[in-house]
Amino acid sequence: MQQLVYVVDDDQGMLDSTLWLLESVGLTGVPFTSGRAFLEACDPSANACVLLDVRMPGMGGLNVQEEMRARGIDLPVIFVSGHADVPIVVRAFKAGAVDFIEKPYNEQLLLDSVQQALERRAPLAKQDPRLAEVQARLDQLTPRERDVLLPLVRGYTNREVAEQLDISVKTVDLYRSRVMKRMQAESLPELVGMVIAAGLVDSLALRETARA
């Protein structure tokens, strides 16, 4: 699977120089001058990472990161910014950023960070194609759908899941239906098998599956 680096920066000069640097070491950079354009075009299942500028007109980098999480886009994010004050850095790392690099950046430092981020995605490229498809479906789930998925495949009933999440059983039914559809699972055992294969849960930690 081809390794990609999504580069999101409204500064065209910085964008061009970053793309050139990536290409000089054999990496493929995919440029975007706005966070919104990146969100609409990126592939959540790609063997990729994201170089994301913090301050951009319209949708800033931190907002892009939040929207990625809301959409279930679990690509490693490296922030690049000329304005790295402590609150911004803390917020970025708390939301899951893998690195925060200040402009003007050291080229080797940036490349090392990119390589480490891509290594986090590398196992996906070595998986059986069917498993890669399962992972791609998992990546499409929203945070709330994942909240329902995990206790569901561990054997908890719909009522128990509702109590854990403090929502109605009817709402759990709705999310359960969405999860089954997104995962293309015909039955609960099939869904459980997918999640175990993807490594999200340990088969030894599952409860005896109960009917919901």
Contact indicator for 106, 39 with CB cutoff of 8 Å: no
Query: What type of residue sits at position 204?
Result: L
Q: Is the pLDDT of residue 90 over 90?
A: no
Average pLDDT over residues 112-140: 75
What are the tokens at 160? 């128990």
Interval 163-209: pLDDT, tens: 988 999 999 999 999 999 999 887 776 787 778 777 766 544 454 44
Contacts of 30-38 spanning 24+ positions with Cβ under 8 A: 30/4, 30/5, 30/6, 31/7, 32/6, 32/7, 32/8, 33/8, 33/9, 34/8, 34/10, 34/58, 34/59, 35/8, 35/59, 35/60, 35/61, 35/63, 35/64, 35/67, 38/6, 38/8, 38/64
Report pLDDT for 76: 93
What are the tokens at 146? 């994942």
Domains of the chain: 4-120 (3.40.50.2300), 129-198 (1.10.10.10)
Helix, strand or coil, per DSSP, at residue 127 = coil
Contact indicator for 30, 39 with CB cutoff of 8 Å: no
Task: Judge if pTM exceeds 0.75.
Answer: no
